[in-house]
Structure 1
Amino acid sequence: MIRQLFILPLFSLAAITGIQAQSHYPGQHAGKFAVPDQLQPAVYSFDLSDVRLLDGHCKQNMEREQQWLLAIDIKKLLHSFRVNAGIFDANEGGYFDIKKYGGWESLDCELRGHTTGHLLSGLALMYAQTGEPVYKAKADSIVMALSEVQTVLDQDGYLSAFPQELINRNLAGKKVWAPWYTLHKIMAGLIDQYLYCDNQQALAIVSKMGDWAYKKLQPVTPAQRTIMLRNEFGGINESFYNLYAITGKPAYQWLAAFFYHNEMLDPLKEGKDILDKKHANTYIPKLLGMTREYEIDGKGDGDSIAAFFWNTVITHHSFVTGSNSDKEKFFTPDDLSDHLTGYTGETCNVYNMLKLTRHLFTHTGDIRYADFYEKALFNHILGQQDPATGMVAYFLPMLPGAHKVYSTKENSFWCCVGTGFENHAKYGEAIYYHSNDALYVNLFIASTINWKEKGFSMKQETNFPESDTMLFTIQQAPATNLALHIRYPSWATSALVTVNGKKLPVKQAADTYITIQREWKANDKVTVVFPMALTTQATNDNPNKAAILYGPIVLAGEMGTAQMDAPAPYSNPALYNDYYTYNYHVPANLVTALSVNKNNLAASIQPVNGQPLSFKTVKEDITLRPLYDVHRERYVVYWNIK
């Protein structure tokens, strides 16, 4: 049964705001939404501009990302857009004298143009996260160039680096890669430019794109729609809902509903796990659209469906790192040990799961979502980036003896490079949340938070996870009681809390929030200690195949560099999926088994003096370090435990 496409009446003119329209928080984006969310969330996000990172792993990743964002050559990036529009500029040497980007941005690749959308989002997020105008200036120049392309194309608002023929092939059910997916990235980037950088031209461009899409899809029959939706379209439904919320234009709400994919979503209503063999990054964004619909309407089954999907993925389809999929696809529920390959853990999947997690956390305030966010952020996203080059990994391989393989600056413009532009620009998005009278601390990342509406600001100093201690210093506070809710994580063996040096009794259990309520004053200090311990986490289907963790941090066994290929194997622009051609050449004598006492890991695995988060196995003499910190060498995550 095809879901009815309908238009709801507009709600009263008011504003919702938030990071990519997710948080409902009245701050940076106030006044930019014509349609208010009807959902009353349990907690609210802060604007990214309210959080500033202090020195630590996250800020260092962000700084490397800044160099990469600014190094992208706009002329190379937009070349395919200009070619598609027939824009010839003699001052630039014509069409063929420009050295073009390769790989997924090649002129013969059907996904060309997606990187531009991600770059616009990354620049917008980086501008919000840092306040530095250089990121806005670069984005402004891209938006201006895209406006020119859209005008010259003169196709009812159509804008892309490829001709409409690819869209027509999709509508006809013919083979094509993913044209709506690519348009989604461009639209999302333009929307972010409007929300974070107040770029009115970006809103005008994306609105024209929406007008074109409405005209294009109005004549599509139900049978055509069923066929075309089987092609990957990313989160374009989410973008249309956001565009509807911003403008109040019913056509965009119609478009969002048009991309409701019955075949993939209806079974979730019935509590059915049909994920086996489904392309994971095609699936996850569909739930983001449903979630935005639920937030705007304040009713319906979008929230329960998204929550069921989320729980199913993290419980039955995810590795210890919080990542999922093998060769980009979900597999039989719980069948983890059979899928420890070199192609596990697509980074785009984690990116989208974290977006969905933030939505669901604001709806409920359920600490499980904060736990997962921490797991996936520290064990996957943080270690995706190569500290030597700033390039990023498509997969996080679970194959024993594999290693991370990174993108290249000229040719490897994969989807995970695009989401990488965003991942490392928004570490501040999920550290803090708030209710009307309480501040929530969900993540232990060195940072400051400025709750402007309450006149409250605070600094968090920590070297977590190398240290188990967090120091919170109140910098400004109103003359009224405010509650501070500090997440008491499930991995902590205990909790020690002091306020201005005085020890407070901790009555809460782990996996809840420790609440401190008082009238705060400037220079009040709260110290929290959450001791960590070694644990194992077995695969769902094999109790003797297990990973080793210290607190929430996945430890990997360092296995050296024997028989590793040259540093940049992903360099052939003619092979768009060349990551599947990569052979890890794992040595036959690689150690993949450990003799440990599961009931007393400390006797089998001992810390290395003077090296935080470094351990040695007593019998095998293997060094274990955080997976996020293991680069350019082989590693083992899942061991055969003897």
Structure 2
Amino acid sequence: MFLVVASASSAAAQLFPLSDVRLKDGPLLEAQDADRQYLMALDADRLLAPFRREAGLPLPKPSYGNWESSGLDGHMGGHYVSALALMWASTGDAAVKQRLDYVIAELKRCQDQLGTGYIGGIPDGKTAWAEIAKGQLKVDNFSVNGRWVPWYNLHKLFAGLRDAHVHAGSEDAKQMLVRFSDWALQLTAKLSDEQVQAMLKSEHGGMNEIFADVAEITGDAKYLALAKRFSHQALLQPLLEQRDVLTGLHANTQIPKVIGFERISETGGDKTWHQAARFFWKTVVDKRTVAIGGNSVKEHFHPDGNFQPMLDEVEGPETCNSYNMLKLSAALYRADAAKGGAYADYYERTLYNHILSAQHPRGGGFVYFTPMRPQHYRVYSQVDQGMWCCVGSGIESHARHGEFIYAHEGDALYVNLFIASTLNWRDQGVRITQSTRFPDESRSRIKINDAGSFALKLRYPSWVAAGAMKLRLNGRAIKVSGKPGEYIEIRRSWADGDTVDIELPMRTQLEPMPGLKNYYAVLHGPIVLAAKTEGPAGERLNFRADDSRMGHIAHGPVCPQESAPVFVSARKDFERRFKPVKGQPLTFTAPGLIQGRNAGRLQLIPFFRLHDSRYMLYWAHTTLAQQSVLRSSMAAAEAERLKLDAQTIDQVAPGEQQPESDHGFRGEGVESGINKNSRWRHARQWFSYELADRELQARKLRLSFSGGDAGRRFDLIVNEQLISEILLSANAQEIYSRDFELPADLVKASAGKLSVKFVAQPGSIAGGLYGLRLLR
């Protein structure tokens, strides 16, 4: 059955093809160039190895290690196809196109060899998919039939083939994408809707988005129906009812689903799904987002009323989340560009302060977690080692910087971002040049390079004060009739060489962390400012991540929060205390305001220019009289936690995808969930984790339980030795902990590896387990 699809051409606004936009000198062009070098340094044959292996083809080179050899085999290959396609469209670099064509041709060989339409690097995927097709499902929140998030993995290749077709015009990629989609259609044909929904408990990327895209590409309604089947009702239904159920959920599992909801609305015309996506966006941006535009702690949404984990933990906002939030923002913007100022404000904020800051300017390495914790730091991937999800989304992000600068709707041209660039508006026969040194200078010039009649709509950023934006047309001042958050329209018959000069006065402002009104980030215009700080004397940190399973986390010592510099002022309106440094753009000092170690030498600079250092991004504020009280209260709040962290050799957060995967989670009859903002794991049969104790220092296990599970009986077994028969009892505390001693001879014989297993006794349940720490 075919249908008339509500394609992008009939949407309220369209973004321009990347091939019609070219970046000029500026920080985003520098990021694009660094990304191109990173892309070409990756070895295509090593990325292709998982696909060749699963297709039974010879392997000229072995697979990469890290995530590419531990269950997510092939996910980077999918990202790589997308990144090459986007980079080719953005630059026209022939070497990039040649690499893309090679990868597509080799993937086609794999698909042809298998003969079913399937392509994938999932270890022994053929067996798993055969079981699934028969309805033999074993699903957990991060696995399906024993494979680590297999639909999430496949989504990367689906998206890569789509991008190779859409952005690079590959007809082979289009045919492969349709064959791949037909394989998925056939695979799920005999599954009930309930079984499909059960599969969707496991992270699955934006599979619904992909099938909506295929529906648009082919005009065939069967793919739109499949997109709806792959839409997770456990998230969609609360969003349709405008209910926030995000607390405790794995953040980047949810965002791609919502991009799919919006694409289904855009493609199929169901406005209620658009409203659901918009509600999600507002909930995340308004209630769970920090100054840089990022969200999540340890990959999960924290309670909207408690941002304290942002300051306490080192696993702050995940870069993948922001990559996907920008995609969602662009999709929502297309639906209503005229009122899209909020989406553009968020896009700009996140692009400069999270996406740009998460790429190293030298070598192009990428960041997974960006800590908000005072005086912590980030680690960056290396080309041949880090194969994390944030590397995959990172190589895509910096290949698509031209995507959102401009948009068009009928004869209206929207200027969303102030980025040095050129635009070829083919439909109107008009070329545009935007010249700016933004954000180092607060002005931009739009030059019309051809004649034509159209409306130029210039964004009035929310960070510019009301009445402060100034416009000049061919040197003459014109009235600005609009306010922050809107678009200013200039409609006229343009002559070749016409110019519009835009003045965007920046202000230095303080932005409190939500719910923590005495912690502030400092922004100049949309740019978050931060300061480099030092750790303990003589400290030598390694800012390059290794290829270990958890190498993406900055594991170095944390600095006690009471040692961090603070803002000391009797007044709360202390923006005037920040002074620009002459000759150094976007660089400030704060004489007398900052108190603490080396305070006199601290300068605030754009966070996106701060690398290879500990840093301050959120600052506590106090008065001179209260400074010692503040530091004492910080010390008291941290003492027990830091003591426990120092005693901890290894730990698992039960029910959380990445920590469980990092610790070799296995089990039968397993379930997980959330109880009063805390995640738990239990099993009707058994579950286990693999812990590391390289220096053989382990003395005990600290396990956390809930008083609500009183009466459950299960065995605690370590390395096949029974440690304890556990009977959970009632407890006055909602969540409480118990310690279990480990025999010295067991630890000595462990070779540094401890398998911790929980086995349900007959008629009972093992768990729920709320926390697990291995202690010295």
Whether 1:183 and 2:154 are equivalent positions in the alignment is: yes
1:327 and 1:277 map into 2 onto residues whose CA distance is 10
Q: Is the 8 A contact 2:49 2:62 kept in 1?
A: no
Between the aligned partners of 1:296 and 1:284, the Cα distance in structure 2 is 18
Task: Tell me if the contact between 2:367 and 2:381 (Cα under 8 Å) persists in the aligned partners.
Answer: yes
Structure 1 CA distance for aligned equivalents of residues 240 and 294 of structure 2: 24
Which one is further off, 450-459 or 423-432?
A: 450-459
Cα offset, 1:566, TM superposition = 4.2
User: Does the CA contact (< 8 Å) of 1:595 and 1:604 recur in 2?
Assistant: no
Equivalent residue number for residue 153 of structure 1:
114
Equivalent residue for 1:637, pick from 595, 613, 617: 617
Structure 1 residue aligned with 2:245: 274
Q: For 1:171, what is the secondary structure of its paired residue?
A: coil
1:497 pairs with 471, 479, 497, which one?
A: 471
Please list the CA deviations of residues 27-50 of structure 1 after superposition, one character each: whole Å capped at 9, or x if unmatched: xxxxxxxxxxxxx43322111111
Match of 1:88 among 36, 46, 58: 58
- Aligned to 2:25, the other structure's residue is in SS state coil
1:34 maps to what in 2? none
Listed as ranges, the matches of 1:100-115 within 5 Å are 100-106=63-69, 109-115=70-76
1:321 maps to: 292
The answer to whether residue 199 in structure 2 is matched with residue 199 in structure 1 is no
> What is aligned with 1:3?
none
Matches for 1:244-263 after TM superposition, within 5 Å: 244-263=215-234
Could you tell me how far apart the structure 1 residues matched to 2:617 and 2:561 are?
A: 17
Amino acid across the alignment from 1:419: S
1:615–1:212: structure 2 CA closer, same or farther, 3 Å change rule? same
Answer yes or no: is 1:292 the counterpart of 2:263: yes
Q: Matched residue of 2:285: which SS?
A: helix
CA displacement, residues 574-593 of structure 1 (integer Å, 9 cap, x when unaligned) = x2x33347234326774331
Please list the CA deviations of residues 543-577 of structure 1 after superposition, one character each: whole Å capped at 9, or x if unmatched: 1111111111111122146565543552134x2x3
Q: Give a deviation string over 1:114-158, Cα, whole Å, max 9, x none.
A: 111111111111111112222221111001111111222234534
Shift of 1:520: 1.0
Q: How many residues were matched structurally?
A: 599
Q: Residue 551 of structure 1 is aligned with which of 525, 541, 564?
A: 525
What is the CA-CA distance between 1:596 and the residue it aligns to? 4.1
The 1-side partners of 2:290 and 2:605 are apart by 18
What are the within-5 Å matches in structure 2 for residues 64-83 of structure 1? Answer: 64-83=34-53
Measure the CA separation in 2 of the matches of 1:581 and 1:631.
Answer: 13
> 1:32 maps to which residue?
none
Secondary structure of the residue aligned to 1:387 is: coil
Counterpart of 2:322 in structure 1 is 350
Q: Percent identity, please.
A: 36
Question: What letter corresponds to residue 208 of structure 1 in structure 2?
Answer: R
- Aligned-partner residue type, residue 45 of structure 2: K
User: Which residue number corresponds to residue 555 of structure 2?
Assistant: 582
Match of 1:120 in 2: 81
Residues 564 and 248 of structure 1, relative CA distance in 2, 3 Å threshold: farther
What is the distance in 2 between the residues matched to 1:505 and 1:249? 49
**In 2, Cα distance between equivalents of 1:82 and 1:160:** 8
The residue type equivalent to 2:480 in the other structure is: V
Q: Using the alignment, how far apart are the partners of 1:599 and 1:581 within structure 2?
A: 33
Pick the aligned partner of 2:581 from 599, 603, 608. Answer: 608
Distance 2:381 2:469 in 1: 41
The offset of 1:441, in angstroms, is 0.7
- 1:156–1:633 distance in 2 versus 1, CA, 3 Å: closer
How far did residue 224 of structure 1 move?
A: 2.5
Tell me, what secondary structure is at the counterpart of 1:208?
helix
* Greater Cα shift, 435-444 or 146-155: 146-155
Q: 1:516 aligns with which of 490, 505, 518?
A: 490
Name the CA shift for 1:598/1:154 in 2 (closer, same or farther; >3 Å).
farther
Matches within 5 A, 1:51-450: 51-88=21-58, 92=60, 98=61, 100-106=63-69, 109-164=70-125, 165-167=127-129, 168=131, 171-173=137-139, 174-340=145-311, 341-365=313-337, 366=339, 367-450=341-424
> Residue 215 of structure 2 aligns to which amino acid in structure 1?
Y
Distance 1:255 1:42, change over 3 A: closer
Within 2, Cα distance between the matches of 1:48 and 1:130? 9
Give the Cα–Cα distance (whole angstroms) in 1 for the partners of residues 172 and 203 of structure 2.
28
Between the aligned partners of 2:436 and 2:367, the Cα distance in structure 1 is 27
Deviation of 1:166 (Å): 4.2
Contact map agreement 2:14 2:334 (CA 8 A) in 1: yes
Q: Distance between the aligned counterparts of 1:596 and 1:375, measured in 2?
A: 27
- Three-state SS of the structure 2 residue aligned to 1:449 is strand
Moved more, 628-637 or 194-203: 194-203
Query: Where in structure 2 are there 5+ consecutive unaligned residues?
Result: 140-144, 595-599, 623-776
Q: Is the 8 Å Cα contact of residues 118 and 185 (structure 1) preserved in structure 2?
A: yes
Given residue 328 of structure 2, which amino acid in structure 1 is its aligned partner?
L
Deviations 1:256-280 (A, max 9, x none): 1221111122111111111001001
- Residue range with higher mean Cα deviation, 392-401 or 211-220: 211-220
Query: In 2, distance between residues paired with 1:300 and 1:509?
Result: 28
Amino acid at match of 2:12: A
Name the residue aligned to 2:450: 476
In the alignment, which residue of structure 2 is the partner of 1:623? 603
Q: Which residue of 2 is the match for residue 11 of structure 1?
A: 3
Instruction: Judge conservation of contact 1:157–1:205 (CA < 8 Å) in 2.
Output: no
Structure 1 SS opposite 2:244? coil
Partner secondary structure for residue 427 of structure 2? helix
- The letter of the residue matching 2:608 is Y
Displacement of 1:483: 1.5
The superposition leaves residues 215-250 of structure 1 with CA deviations (integer Å, 9 ceiling, x where unpaired) of: 111122344223211000000111111112212334
Task: Write the distance in 2 (CA, Å) between the matches of 1:333 and 1:599.
Answer: 24
Write the letter of the residue equivalent to 1:10. Answer: F
Shift of 1:62: 0.2
Q: So what's the TM-score if we normalise by structure 2?
A: 0.74
- Which of 547, 567, 572 is the matching residue for 2:547? 572
**Contact 2:378–2:543 (CA under 8 A) maintained in structure 1:** no
Q: Secondary structure at the match of 2:281?
A: helix
Structure whose CA Rg is larger: 2
Relative distance call for 1:334 and 1:192 in structure 2 (3 A) is same
Other-structure match for 1:31: none
Which of 565, 569, 586 is residue 592 of structure 1 equivalent to?
565
Q: Does the 8 Å CA contact 2:50/2:120 hold for their aligned counterparts?
A: no
Q: Which residue of 1 aligns with 2:11?
A: 41
CA distance in 1, matches of 2:289, 2:154: 29
* CA drift at 1:388: 1.7
> What does residue 708 of structure 2 align with?
none
**Using the alignment, how far apart are the partners of 1:510 and 1:255 within structure 2?**
41
Higher strand share: 2
CA distance in 1, matches of 2:543, 2:591: 35
Question: Which runs of 5 or more structure 1 residues have no equivalent in the other structure?
Answer: 1-8, 17-23, 26-39, 93-97
**Larger relative contact order (Cα-Cα within 8 Å, sequence gap ≥ 6):** 1
Range with greater deviation from structure 2 (184-193 or 617-626): 617-626
Distance 1:598 1:58, change over 3 A: farther
Shift of 1:293: 1.0
Q: CA shift at 1:387, angstroms?
A: 0.9
8 A contact 1:561–1:633 mirrored in 2: no
SS at match of 1:458: strand
Pair 1:156–1:543, CA change in 2 (3 A): closer
Cα distance in 2 for residues equivalent to 1:604 and 1:286:
44
* Alignment RMSD: 2.0
